[in-house]
Structure 1
Amino acid sequence: TVAMKDPPTHTRLRRLISPDFTMRQVDNLRPSIARIVAERLDGIAPALERGDAVDLHREFALALPMLAFAELFGLPQDDMFGLAAGIGTIVEGLGPHASDPQLAAADAASARVQAYFGDLIQRKRTDPCHDIVSMLVGAHDDDVDTLSDEELISMLWGMLLGGFATTAATIDHAVLAMLAYPEQRHWVQEDAKGVKAFVEEVLRRDSPVLFSVTPRIAQRDIELGGVVIPKNADVRVLIAASNRDPDAFADPDRFDPARFYGTNPGMSTDGKIMLTFGHGIHFCPGAQLARMQLAESLPQIQARFPTLTLAKQPTREPSAFLRTFRALPVRLHAQRGA
């Protein structure tokens, strides 16, 4: 994938995809994302209003990025749910304690996803639409330096794997922040700057990725923070720890959206940068899509279900590098007079 390449190969691949994955292209999805959010909340409203518990993780946090990717890639929703099931199997296989059967299942799921994307590229080449796969397939036909099918498959695979579980986990963390800090809910009821500030603080304080998956290899012995990193060492950035570095963010465990009010995405009011989406040439190209899903979700959740509360403690997914969930049961507070 692009994340595993260095310049000049990285520069070439990033140049070819960047015009197609701009903020404008993703922003065109905003009405669709808002509609999907409303539809998913409509779906869970009857059960909540009856007083039932609903697994918000399964019914909303997982479903939203699935459907967002269906819109982005121009896929039927049923196809997207099938791909998402494969992603879950693959994530299980990435765990450090994965069994041989889990590894075999992950390999098989990966092969199925790869085959599907290969077929999808051929369909979009024959019958292009206004989706990002069609643009990636056809936008550079007159460019000497085009994307090969293998590179396209790798990019689609990376977008899906990198943006599915992480976005779902961040939606879960955002809802938990709303429930844990009701005095901070006003941020998601205000203007776009207020919503953005709340989203950024969730991304900083509860990064879904604990450390960088992509290794950095030391090209020579180098001293960093008083420690000598030997040549050829595999170095991973502890993203979650960096986002809670007290030298960068005062009182870092405190949930305080004011840190990000009125700033550029990812930057605090005093100019500190969080690393949730990485930094530099390997900055996550899906950051805008993830932020949009959060910004469209939280105000609607607050407006529709202002008395939302935990039905019981959420169940976390055991993982070495992702802070994800298996279940997030919620319900509504009993109404006065009920």
Structure 2
Amino acid sequence: MAGLRLASVRKKFGATDVIRNVDLDIADGEFVVFVGPSGCGKSTLLRMIAGLEDITGGDLFIDGRRCNDIEPRARGIAMVFQSYALYPHLTVYENMSFGLTLNRTPKSEIDTRVREAARILKLEHLLDRKPSQLSGGQRQRVAIGRAIIRKPAVFLFDEPLSNLDAALRMDMRMEIAKLHKELGATMIYVTHDQVEAMTLADKIVVLEGGVVQQIGAPIELYKKPANKFVAGFIGSPKMNFLNVKVTAVSGSSVTVESPTVSPVTVEAKGFSSGDRAVLGVRPQYLRRDTDATGGSRVKGNVSLVERLGTETIVSFETMSNERALAAIPQDEVFEAGSAVEFAFDPQLSHLFAA
């Protein structure tokens, strides 16, 4: 296995900067997820690591070896694609063994590796089938098996579950997590789905516009987002952003309020009295306020109620015409159009510059 290091890595397509000065260290055996919206550069960065895209500037090191000009097949990596990329005329066994056959690996070794990968991925009973006879989840497991038998130093996954339905995605997430634990391999995984990122990663790299916005453990990004973009991207339902005004500053404490939000005092730096700001509160931290006195509160009118069984998602419009959400764990009754007031703990909120 191997670790990776990216040092000021850049990529340009013509005059357009797609990846901008990415610095990243990935430890041996770590599971790292690149996450961000479509077009943020995450797949391009993965393809640069794989050698499928040239590096415009900076350096890529795999296991301490500079790999900028090394051919993809010599980098010790294996890549699993979104489209599976299986040969339709070959059986599962032949698809998995294809690369080793090309390299003239002895047949006995090929058979051992294929059957071991099939055991890990529960494909033993499917080895004689063609891809057209498999479900989407089974095809994806075959693609992963083809990568496993190469015994790469690094596994690369490019949105491998995006073609699967919700139930299969959950099953395959569990399979990939178990695979990582069993192999102890270095894995880099690209997705736009922050739920996948939160559940799989040891470390998440959040990208936007080709720039790394934050790197950290999933819970760190959730509880301590570096900026408004990360705060809004990580977490489901997404964080509420409410426009407020700074009314007082005392040391590292800032008090804000608005026609919608009662006075809230939070820990924040870089603000002055009179500044406009944005208060971030996660829907899960809002609770129905039955006590009219004390605490921090946000008011509005209910516009939509979604009952999901385990929780109720209440969409409401604030006094400042902002749309916000509350995720209420109890099966409480809300009526569309009615006035509502939610309380929250100021220590669980975040303050961002407007």
State the TM-score, normalized to the length of structure 2.
0.24
Task: Choose between structure 1 and 2: higher strand proportion.
Answer: 2
